[in-house]
Structure 1
């Protein structure tokens, strides 16, 4: 019998709130997670994502709202009674215990029969591909291997939900890429639901079925990676999703699109909401391209090689900072002409917060 996850239909967060004195770390957060979904909580430091995870785990009590697992309210249960698996940023392994004993710790605490513990630990070791390291101590393992032990310990109890709090942030770039693939593979193999906290948009885009963007304890947008990448609902979401050119501008309706003014030049844009007057334009650096006759003139300050092409930083005469893409290396001090297709210039009403 292979490891699996306890069956459930949905997990519901209904207006959950967490206050620390006068400060609201979470404010009226609502979300429904279906069985088998991989949800990423994404946002900058202090946005409330780890607080949300700790409230789910039972490590922090709510000050408002409720959490339901199917028809059972669980926010008043102790952490051990919720039955969730938890993977921490710092692994939180017992240094004096072998890999095998670390993984089986939760099952021992549940007073499972010895033969069941052995079987399920063996299955977890196989799932995270650490059979050859079962009798080693955590200090004898690499960072990536220690994180696999932490994941195995979380899943061996066959939880309905696995909670991961920035589990890859202590790993180097190569290991992060490898562990992303491992986490997704394990998630799909078990069929469990996963809620994954990260501040890294690339991690969220590559792993999640849906992404929840948080800011100041509030939900700003929930959507698929494709939706958040292509159509951020707000300018602050666009900025967090990699639109480094976030420029205050004036927008005028033009047929189904708008015309915006950037650095004294006119560009076509796509309105994400009705706009007429003060607005914010968002453009990804890869979509602002150096061309021979682009409408925006700017002076190059630096370029860097990114494999197939170059990314540059330039400044227009009015001081507007612009990040762009070019097929050739440009020298500092050169004047460059920049352009972007209207569908790549997203326009939002109002100004920057």
Structure 2
């Protein structure tokens, strides 16, 4: 494994037809880190991965592995492993031959190929399936073959492009744990692309949130979950209630805001002043039924196991998403409250 201490992206930019798909991405990735690139479709995350892999040339910027410049090298000389959404397995080759293929292409001694292939098969727990063809495997097993094929090369960096999106919910959960286990046991440096915030939060050491090709925030899962940098990150991290409001008061601890038919107290993000147009962001689980809150009428109730997801509307027609422990009925009138520490107030920046 060609080791390194730091992989550095300096102002990495990629344009298509005069439009920036990725603009000025600067990031340091340390050896052994698991980095998730996160954002909605079209935000630039797969473009960033393809630039790293060498599948797309840069329009501007550079990529460095310690003091070695990478962006001028072809993909095969970068020494990275890649796991695609589509698995991209050879259908006519067995599991063992799929995994060994890259090693054979490098003309390694036969004994070395066998040893490393055996180890990779054992690592992804496919011992009893080694002689099967990909068509005889489940989706999760095929994905494990694709991961084994990437790690058997002992790459300095593994790139994963939405590798779990073709799997059902149960398999996705199992494979999340599997990828994290492999990452930790092998000490792999991993860059992982996903649009699923729960997946990213559960697996990554640090997250990079992109929007329209630009970095919105870089931080640990805890930082992004509790302190999103702006309303767009908040939206992506599960703050489903984004309410346009106006600042009425500002103290050291809290910001008072009001909107049509409701007043709230929250925690300000950035410099805010009375009269400012703002967006109050609240997670559904932080908006609860309680006395003296905002009056709403329940419209939709969904059972979600330990709790109920409720959609309710204020008298002014604003939809709110909340959680309830006991089942309200559609048409019920209740009031909802939120802890000021859980209400984030962002400047009302243009969308």
Q: What interval of TM-score do these two structures reach, taking the shorter chain for normalisation?
A: over 0.9
What displacement does 1:265 show?
A: 2.3
1 CA distance for matches of 2:230 and 2:16?
Answer: 27
Aligned to 1:62: 58
- Give yes or no for contact 1:85–1:162 (8 Å, CA) kept in 2: yes
Output the aligned Cα RMSD: 0.9
* 2:338 paired with 1:316: no
1 CA distance for matches of 2:69 and 2:135?
Answer: 40
Instruction: Give matches, 1:123-202, under 5 Å.
Output: 123-202=119-198
Q: After superposition, what is the alpha-carbon deviation per residue over 1:153-197, rounded to whole angstroms, capped at 9, x for unaligned?
A: 000000010000000000000000000000000001111100000
Aligned-partner SS, 1:189: helix
Q: After superposition, what is the alpha-carbon deviation per residue over 1:181-214, rounded to whole angstroms, capped at 9, x for unaligned?
A: 0000000111110000000000000000000000
Aligned to 1:273: 270
Aligned-partner SS, 1:147: helix
2 CA distance for matches of 1:166 and 1:256?
Answer: 40
2:22 aligned residue (21, 26, 32)? 26
What displacement does 1:21 show?
A: 1.3
Aligned to 1:336: 334
Q: Give the gaps of 5 or more residues in structure 1.
A: none
Aligned to 1:7: 3
2 CA distance for matches of 1:100 and 1:31?
Answer: 36
Aligned to 1:296: 294
What displacement does 1:268 show?
A: 1.1
- Give yes or no for contact 2:96–2:117 (8 Å, CA) kept in 1: yes
- Give yes or no for contact 1:248–1:351 (8 Å, CA) kept in 2: no
Instruction: Give matches, 1:38-77, under 5 Å.
Output: 38-77=34-73
TM-score by length of 2: 0.98
Instruction: Give matches, 1:83-122, under 5 Å.
Output: 83-122=79-118
2 CA distance for matches of 1:142 and 1:109?
Answer: 27
Aligned to 1:346: 344
What displacement does 1:310 show?
A: 1.1
1 CA distance for matches of 2:68 and 2:323?
Answer: 52
Change (3 A) 1:210 1:109: same
- Give yes or no for contact 2:2–2:79 (8 Å, CA) kept in 1: no
What displacement does 1:295 show?
A: 1.8
Q: Give the gaps of 5 or more residues in structure 2.
A: none
* 2:254 paired with 1:257: yes
| Displacement over 4 Å in runs of 4+ | none
- Give yes or no for contact 1:154–1:162 (8 Å, CA) kept in 2: yes
Q: How many positions carry a matched residue from both structures?
A: 348
